[in-house]
Structure 1
Amino acid sequence: MRTALKRIALVLAAVVAVLVVPGAGATVSALSAFGALYAPGPSRPAPVAAPPPHDPAKPTAVVVIGARGAVVSDVLAPYEILASTGRFNVYTVAPDHEPKPLTGGLDLLPDLTFDDLAGRLGPKAPDLVVTPALPDVGEPSTDVATAWLRAQAAHGAKLLGVCNGGGVLASAGLLDGRPATAHWLKVDTWAAEYPAVHWVRGQRFVDDGDVVTTAGILSGIDGTLHWVERLAGQPVAAAVATTIGWRHYGTTVPVTPAASMPDAVAIVNAGFRWNPDEIGVLLANGVGELELASVFDTQGQSLSSRTIAVSADGAPIRSRHGLTFLPRTSLAGADLDRLLVPGATRGVTPPPGGPAAEYVHDRPGFAYDTAVSELSRSTDVATARWTAKALELPTDGVVFEGRAWPWLPTALPVVLVLLGAGAVFVVIRLRRRRQGAQG
């Protein structure tokens, strides 16, 4: 009996020894990949924001950004849609004036603080409050934002929870007893944490009167257009859908089932790309908010690279509809493997020795379609398909071309396991020889 138990223990020890290196490496790599998404930018002087003028004849829509930032597409996609209509005063608002990290290394200077907004609106709440996914749902760092959300709802503001912004609204107690939805990867988690909410699966958005919540990231486009339709009319919503290239307005788009798991390629990319490419994303004045978000979120959701915002001279830029973004360095000061240029900018001259500029939006179409197509060419098709799934992006407009699979990251754990197994085999042989010599 003791001999059998000893053998079992030796086998288990051998298995652990074989798996410990790839397992530890994958854990460190995955934590690094997810941690990098919300990493704050360097300390540097922030310019004084010049918020857009306020027209009291228009309804006001605001996009909330938490103290620790927000998901880039959840913020910028609704913002550009609302701003493009010309029917709203549209602002980004936050607890303070400090730059806020959007996922992937893009720092946004909020237009207004909560107090600034009150100075513009007086006792009136904004007509529409857009709440994106935040990195710290339920933590004390969200208390100021959730208290503010409760106050706006109490004063009649209509709400849009984008993606896991549904979790933020639930944490504020604003969805109790209501139907709501969120990203397919998190909706079951929210159901366990906030059981008073009637969580809905399989819909791109859920309309419960004064509150609309959306599913995966780009379902926020459908939810925002739905609010535009309700507040400004169907022709306005249809026109802005055409403006941004969203062909799916008014159609039924499939939603990823909530019970889905991350694709195998996501696990490979998160765990075994131990030396991911450092990708600079060039910021230039006039770039579209959706164009920016499409690059940062496509690369970020792929888990295959690290992005950093750069500008030609390191100076802040203003986007198409007036948002202020702070690059983390200048083009010359960045050590990059690749340089991606979103939007219509052309003729970029990289510094000596730097990578050539790659123009992501070099073909017509919805910004995310072209960004995911570029990802398939530069990385692999499996990674691009996973990214579209994570973004909740319909793929009928995406051209997938390139390698089928990330073979090199996949080979890494195989090699490590074989090396570990070889080391264990050698140790066992030496141990047996020693025992034989002693016998």
Structure 2
Amino acid sequence: MRTALLRAARVAAVVVAVLLLPVGGAAISAVATFEALNAPGPARAVPAASPVRHDPAKPTAVVVVGDRGAEVSDVLAPYEILAATGRFNVYTVAPQRRPLPLTGGLDIVPDLTFDDLATRTGGVTPDLVVVPALPDDGEPSTAPVTDWLRVQADRGALFLSVCNGAGVLASAGLLDGRPATAHRLRVGRYEGRYPGVDWVHGQRFVDAGDVVTTAGILSGIDGTLHMVERLAGPAVAADAAAAVGWRHHRAAPAVTTGIAVPDPVAIVNAGYRWDPAVIGVLLTDGVGEIELASVFDAHGGQSLAARTLALTAGGAAVRSSHGLTFLPRAGLADAAPSLDRLVVPGVAAAATRSFGQVPGGPAPEYLHDRSGFAYDVALADLAGSIDVATARWTAKALELPTDGLVLEGPAWPLAPTALPVVLGLLSAGALAGGARLLRRRRRGP
């Protein structure tokens, strides 16, 4: 019995030794990959707020951004939909007005602080508060947000959470005793953390009266259109869906279900792309908010396969089609030599093609020069430039319906997949060599 246990222990030790290098390297790489998603940018001057006239005759909708930023699509997709209707005063709000990171490295300067909002509206409570996923939900650092949310709830505001924004509402105690949903990769964790909430699986959104929660990231589009329909009517919601190219309105696409763990390709991308491609994303005035989000989330966020770097031609701030303020992290001329690709988002930019190739840098690629929903175009580009498996994983993480979506390109990330195999063989070789040397020493000269 003792001999068998010793043999088992030796085998286990060998297995651990062989896996130590590939698994340890993957763990270090994965941590760095996920930390980069919400990493803040450099210190920069804060530009003046966009001059927007508040119309007291319209309902007010606000999209919250936390002190550590938020998920890029959770913020920008609801914002554009609400703004596109023309029926709301729409603002981004935060505890402080300073550059805040959205996933993928896009820095937004919120329109207003919470106090500025009260001044702008004359103390009137916003009609709708949109809560995106925050990187620190459930942590004490979200207190300025959760405290403010409780006050708005007491004053009768409606809430829409997008993706893991449900965790922010739950941590504020605003979902207790209610049905709610969240992203499939987090809802199981929330069930243990917030047992007072009736967590729902497999629905794109759950309407609990004064609180609507949505599942994965782009389920927030369905939730936002649902709120528009409630507040402004079905015709307005249908027009808003058409304006942003969301062809799934009222189609009730399925929500991804199954085991709540990343796909193998996500593990490969996060753990074994040790030198990921750097994609410069050139920001231009008037770009659509959803167009921006589609690039930063598909390429620099959910795919885990590349890094996106926000640039402008002169290093100055830009304003999007509905007035949001974004800051670049570098100027185009300085960053160009370090880029693997240069992508220019937006239909308007594709129409003008006003940027040429910068010396030492890649030629600009006008991503949205083809028709279709912005994320469909971004996913097709991801499949062609990276691989189809990564694009399919990214669609699943985004909760983007793939019916009718054509993805063509390499089938699988072969080079990153080969890396752990090579590392395992190196570990095994080193272990065998060490064992052989030890046996020689034991035998003596």
| TM-score (normalizing by structure 2) | 0.96
* CA deviation after TM superposition for structure 1 residue 7, in Å: 4.0
* CA deviation after TM superposition for structure 1 residue 12, in Å: 2.8
* CA deviation after TM superposition for structure 1 residue 51, in Å: 4.4
CA contact (8 A) 1:187 1:258 kept: no
Q: In 1, Cα distance between the equivalents of 2:101 and 2:318?
A: 15
Q: Which residue of 2 aligns with 1:319?
A: 320
Q: In 2, Cα distance between the equivalents of 1:159 and 1:39?
A: 27
Q: Which amino acid aligns with 1:428?
A: A
Q: Which amino acid aligns with 1:380?
A: D
Matched, 1:333 2:301: no
* CA deviation after TM superposition for structure 1 residue 258, in Å: 5.4
Q: 1:406 aligns with which of 390, 409, 413?
A: 413
* CA deviation after TM superposition for structure 1 residue 72, in Å: 0.2
Matched, 1:380 2:381: no
Q: In 1, Cα distance between the equivalents of 2:16 and 2:209?
A: 54
* CA deviation after TM superposition for structure 1 residue 46, in Å: 1.5
Matches within 5 A, 1:228-247: 228-247=228-247
Q: Which residue of 2 aligns with 1:423?
A: 430
Q: In 2, Cα distance between the equivalents of 1:124 and 1:195?
A: 33
Matches within 5 A, 1:256-275: 256-257=256-257, 259-275=259-275
Q: Which moved more, 1:11-20 or 1:298-307?
A: 11-20
SS at 1:369 equivalent: helix
Matched, 1:343 2:346: yes
Q: In 2, Cα distance between the equivalents of 1:224 and 1:50?
A: 24
Q: Which amino acid aligns with 2:443?
A: G
Q: Which residue of 2 aligns with 1:161?
A: 161
Number of residue equivalences? 438
SS at 1:116 equivalent: helix
Q: Which residue of 1 aligns with 2:193?
A: 193
Q: In 1, Cα distance between the equivalents of 2:334 and 2:420?
A: 34
* CA deviation after TM superposition for structure 1 residue 124, in Å: 2.0
- Structure 1: gaps of 5 or more residues: none
Q: Which residue of 2 aligns with 1:182?
A: 182
Q: In 2, Cα distance between the equivalents of 1:88 and 1:54?
A: 10
Q: Which runs of at least 4 in structure 1 moved beyond 3 Å after TM superposition? A: 1-10
Matched, 1:285 2:285: yes
* CA deviation after TM superposition for structure 1 residue 6, in Å: 4.5
Q: Cα distance 1:2–1:210, how it changes in 2: closer, same or farther (>3 A)?
A: closer
Matches within 5 A, 1:195-234: 195-234=195-234
Q: Which amino acid aligns with 1:78?
A: P
What per-residue deviation string (whole Å, max 9, x for no partner) do you get for residues 109-168 of structure 1? Answer: 100000001112233210000000000011111101001001011101100001101111
CA contact (8 A) 1:331 1:350 kept: no
Q: In 2, Cα distance between the equivalents of 1:313 and 1:396?
A: 40
Matches within 5 A, 1:72-221: 72-221=72-221
Q: In 1, Cα distance between the equivalents of 2:195 and 2:3?
A: 51
CA contact (8 A) 1:182 1:213 kept: yes
* CA deviation after TM superposition for structure 1 residue 15, in Å: 1.9
Q: Which amino acid aligns with 1:152?
A: Q
Q: Percent identity?
A: 68
SS at 1:332 equivalent: helix
RMSD: 1.3
* CA deviation after TM superposition for structure 1 residue 360, in Å: 1.4
Q: Which amino acid aligns with 2:315?
A: G
SS at 2:425 equivalent: helix
* CA deviation after TM superposition for structure 1 residue 29, in Å: 0.5
- Structure 2: gaps of 5 or more residues: none
CA contact (8 A) 1:61 1:90 kept: yes
Q: 2:368 aligns with which of 361, 378, 386?
A: 361
Q: In 1, Cα distance between the equivalents of 2:138 and 2:440?
A: 58
CA contact (8 A) 1:188 1:258 kept: no
